[in-house]
Chains A and B, each alone.
Chain A
Amino acid sequence: MEKIRDAFDFRDFSKPEKVGFAIFTLFLLIFPWLGAGSFVKAVAIQFLLFSLFGMGWNTIGGYGGQVELGKAQYVGIGAYTVALTMVWWKIPFWVSMPIGVLIAIGYSFIIGYPLFRLKGHYFAIATICTSLVLQDIFINWKLVGAAKGIELPIREHPDFLYMQFKSDTYYFYFIMALFYVAIFYMNWFRKSKLGYQLRMIKEDEEAAESLGIDARWCKIKAYSIASAFVAVGGGFLAVYNLYIDPYSVMDLDLSIKIALMSMLGGAGSMWGPIIGSAFLVPLDRFLGSWLGAQKGLIGVDFMIYAALIMIVSAYQPRGIWGIIEQFRKRGA
């Protein structure tokens, strides 16, 4: 009961935050009826999806302060579980998605146990490696479609069981629902014992250990929570795109984007991943399609992207949310 109350209790946020959050929620609810084109809708879905990924990453990367750059492997696990079980055994999404999450959690414990013996840069590199190894396995594994990937069988009619719809609006509302589950979870998480302990580990791991915190075990737990979040998003990606291959769901690029968006928005804060995703997803898509299409400007979007990240990280390592808080403090 306490936990449920904590998840829905937003009282300790400031008034502008509460108002902003309410307006944002309202906007999302009516968004599909505002007459946006399919491209804009796709960007909005992408934004919610990356917010979900980012919030997951934020548990271990933000609150726990561990530079984790291997989240793509869990996107892959979630996506492949949904796709393969559907192709092979016609298992509906609502069954295969939780299975994917369970597999991701199990896998994250197996990977996390040795991984968290490492610290700092070594840990970051190791997370990249585990993800790349899994990607390589999938690229060469004939049974799961190898590099060609797999196509999900398309249902004749829109089907709720298999989450196949003609209109993006349904996908939008579905990812929005997942997004809000994630927000409520994070709202509980930041106030939980594990949340506090992780923040202490981030501040000063030695001191945390002296306060009875099993740092390694806490990190493993947070890592598997993050993995579960990301696997949910991966499952969504499979039914949304109806086609997955190791390059689209397990790429290093994806891992880095997940981490970068949260860092840019503000790692270790409630709104950071959402802000980061709101900035970078549209930037990425619009710049990519606008600038990338012009002759001689290929790659300029990446340069703008990189410059933005450098500016924010040099100015305020706690990201955009850190800048906002800084101004708020100065005003108070």
Chain B
Amino acid sequence: MAFLEVSELVKDFGGVVANNHISFDINQGEIIGLIGPNGAGKTTLFNCIVGYHKPDSGKVIFKGKEITGFKPFMTNREGIGRTFQIMKVTAGMTVLENVMVGAFCRADDRNLAKVEAAAILGFLGLDSVKTYYLNELPIAAQKKIGLARALATQPELLMLDEVASGLNPKETEEMVDLLKKIHQEKKITLFLIEHVMEVVMPISQRVIVLDGGEKIAEGLPKDIVKNERVIKAYLGEKYAKGL
């Protein structure tokens, strides 16, 4: 039995079919990349799985339990964490408080939540920014805090929406290391939308490619980069030649 099973998922925004009969499986402990051009339906697919959108048809099964149409907070309690492509940068809560809110998902006690939040910030190397507000931090740190917040809810599956967008090459490299660390030490299955090939290709064990709401390919990264349809739709001739 697959860890996450998506079958025949359809999301139709009144004429624009953002996800058209998409099916795939994810096994526990994998790292899966989801790529595709803008408007391919990647974020919609995420939102359908997590519950921000209600799919028009199809099923989402997580750990053998059907979670289709669950609200976001319910899927989170089932064990799916997610981060957002664009995080609202707010001035009302400190970094530690942000992560504590995540920890409160599993802990009722404030002191326990604080200890857990501090542990996660330490794990991600964010100790020094604990008392800052989100709007006072550079984007790389903001992205990591999004990650920390989601991790604090103790997910088994972490869905990351463009976690490396807007980062410079050095920060991107750090982020890749961090993702590897999360995967290895916390034993969390990762499912990531990513435009930056330097992130997807080295760490993904499998890659799923969407285009125009359809799944056009799925396979090992080394096979994907040679796939005719993927090159045409997304990667471009140059990238393929460069390999």
A contacts, CB < 8 Å to B: 2, 6, 191-193, 196-197, 199-200, 202-204, 206-215, 268
Cβ distance A11 to chain B, nearest Cβ, rounded Å: 14
CB-based contact B102/A211 at 8 Å:
yes
Check B241 for interface membership: any CB of A closer than 8 A: no
Within 8 A of A (CB), among B150-181: 150, 152-153
Name the one of B88, B100, B110 contacting A203, with C-beta atoms under 8 angstroms: B88
Name the one of B72, B93, B109, B113 contacting A210, with C-beta atoms under 8 angstroms: B72
List the A side residues contacting B108 at CB < 8 Å: 193
CB-based contact A210/B76 at 8 Å:
yes
List the B side residues contacting A6 at CB < 8 Å: 110
CB-based contact B84/A206 at 8 Å:
yes
Name the one of A191, A202, A206, A213 contacting B52, with C-beta atoms under 8 angstroms: A206
Check B71 for interface membership: any CB of A closer than 8 A: yes
A235 to B241, CA, bound (A): 79
Cβ distance B18 to chain A, nearest Cβ, rounded Å: 18
CB-based contact A214/B150 at 8 Å:
no
A45 to B55, CA, bound (A): 56
Name A3's closest neighbour in chain B (CB-CB): B110
Check B128 for interface membership: any CB of A closer than 8 A: no
CB-based contact A212/B97 at 8 Å:
no
A247 to B101, CA, bound (A): 42
List the B side residues contacting A197 at CB < 8 Å: 101, 104
Across chains A and B, the number of contacting residue pairs, with CB separation under 8 Å, is 76
User: Given known contacts A2-B109, A209-B72, A210-B81, what 15 new A-B pairs fall within 8 Å (CB)?
Assistant: A6-B110, A191-B110, A192-B110, A196-B97, A199-B101, A209-B73, A209-B76, A210-B150, A211-B76, A211-B105, A211-B149, A212-B105, A213-B73, A213-B101, A268-B92
Most B-side CB within 10 Å, residue of A200, A202, A208: A200
Q: Take A210-B72, A211-B105, A214-B73 as given contacts and tell me if A196 and B84 are in contact as well, using a CB distance cutoff of 8 Å.
A: no
9 pairs, A vs B, C-beta closer than 8 Å:
A191-B110, A192-B110, A197-B104, A199-B93, A207-B84, A207-B149, A210-B73, A212-B76, A212-B105
Check B87 for interface membership: any CB of A closer than 8 A: yes
CB-based contact B93/A203 at 8 Å:
yes
Q: Mark B65-85, 1 if CB is under 8 A from A, else 0.
A: 000000111001100011010
A2 to B72, CA, bound (A): 31
A191 to B52, CA, bound (A): 29
Cβ distance A5 to chain B, nearest Cβ, rounded Å: 11
A209 to B90, CA, bound (A): 16
Most A-side CB within 10 Å, residue of B52, B77, B81, B101: B101
Cβ distance A208 to chain B, nearest Cβ, rounded Å: 7
List the A side residues contacting B72 at CB < 8 Å: 206, 209-210
